[in-house]
Amino acid sequence: GLNPKTTKALEKAEIRDSQENTIKNLYELSTAERINKKVNPWSKAHIKRTQYIWKLLAPIHKIPIRDLTKALLRSTLVDIASKTPSSGQKAKDLMSVIYGYAVRNDIIPTNLVSSFSDDPILRKPKPDETNMQSFVPLDKLGHLFYLVKSSQMSMPSKAFLFIDSYTALRVNSLIGAKWSDFDEAKSILNISADKMKNKRATQCPLPFQGKVFLHELKEIQQMLSGSAWNESMFIFSENGKKRINNDTPLHSMKRILNKHNFPHATVHGFRTICQIKWTQDKFISEAINIQLDHSVTGGSSVVDRYLANEAFLPERAKMTQHMADYISSEIEAHQKKYVK
């Protein structure tokens, strides 16, 4: 009762569908679509993180998406989450991107990942369940920065750590800055949208101490580069041509922390320190959120840009200067108490 020609064609189509619509092929198609978007494409840093997460999903790479059962997908994600919870969430997000692409292109009817929204292990953690990045206690901040200041650390790393602690910028937002981004007259560092997590270009006010570090860095680079120096060069760089790696400041700080028996801390933890200090000292909450690149009240990107770059810029300038002065005073207090 079946047409042999139709049956054979369907069998071939199923084989072709299995070969073309493996998780690996759909990963390549779906990520290429995100990378090549004209509006808010994935940043280089996000692409690099995605490639790392993709390797963790190796057990299901070759499986056709139609054959990937919910049980197998869950066990794969749970296995990743059991080793590193944050990687488990990122793996789930990446699989959602793949499934979303497959649904939009009528390859499968539903996004299987959405069924894990209430899963006890795979659900997204609530704000009060998320641990903050480890940070140096405020009463040890003067000691840490005294050691950074007096260390043999490279000048680009030293300047980066100080300026990052003043501004609470993410590493990826600050580390690739070029001299052309720095408005010395206004003491503003312009950061493009692709370097910000919220994909919103911003102006970051720098305190006086930050300008001093940049002046020293520029002098070193100009001495090394001579007439070849120009404003398209990187700020946090030995010679301006190649910026320091993202991990370099962290490794430099870790050596100091380990040598002097500090508790574990990360560069990202400076954001927590700034948030604590600014909140304690009663700065405007909207300005704090904008400086931290968090979501702000406002119904449109136009409103957000206005809030970030106009309405609260003077307040944010006070905040970064306040943080710089606080760190300077803590260094001075440590020197008076412990350094002969």
Question: CA quadruple 237, 240, 242, 243: dihedral positive or negative?
Answer: positive
Q: What is residue 127's predicted lDDT score, i.e. its pLDDT?
A: 52
Tell which residue, 28, 65, 72, has the closest CA to residue 50. Answer: 28
Return d(Cα 78, Cα 88) in angstroms, integer. 7
Q: What is residue 226's predicted lDDT score, i.e. its pLDDT?
A: 87
Give residue 129's region: left, alpha or beta (phi > 0; psi -120 to 50): alpha
The answer, yes or no, to whether residue 153 has pLDDT greater than 80, is: yes
Residue 18 phi/psi, 5° resolution? -65, -40
Stretch 174-202: mean pLDDT: 90
Give the pLDDT band of residue 19 (cuts 50, 70, 90): low
pLDDT digits (tens, 9 = 90+) for 75-122: 999 999 888 888 899 999 999 999 999 999 999 999 999 999 888 888
Q: How far apart are the first and last CA of the chain?
A: 98
pLDDT digits (tens, 9 = 90+) for 227-247: 899 999 999 998 899 999 988
Lowest mean pLDDT among 4-8, 86-90, 122-126, 273-277: 4-8
Question: CA quadruple 73, 76, 81, 84: dihedral positive or negative?
Answer: negative
Mean pLDDT of the chain: 87
Stretch 161-168: mean pLDDT: 96
pLDDT digits (tens, 9 = 90+) for 296-335: 444 445 555 555 556 689 999 999 999 999 999 999 999 9
The answer, yes or no, to whether residue 159 has pLDDT greater than 80, is: yes
Lowest mean pLDDT among 8-22, 211-225, 312-326: 8-22
Lowest mean pLDDT among 15-19, 139-143, 324-328: 15-19
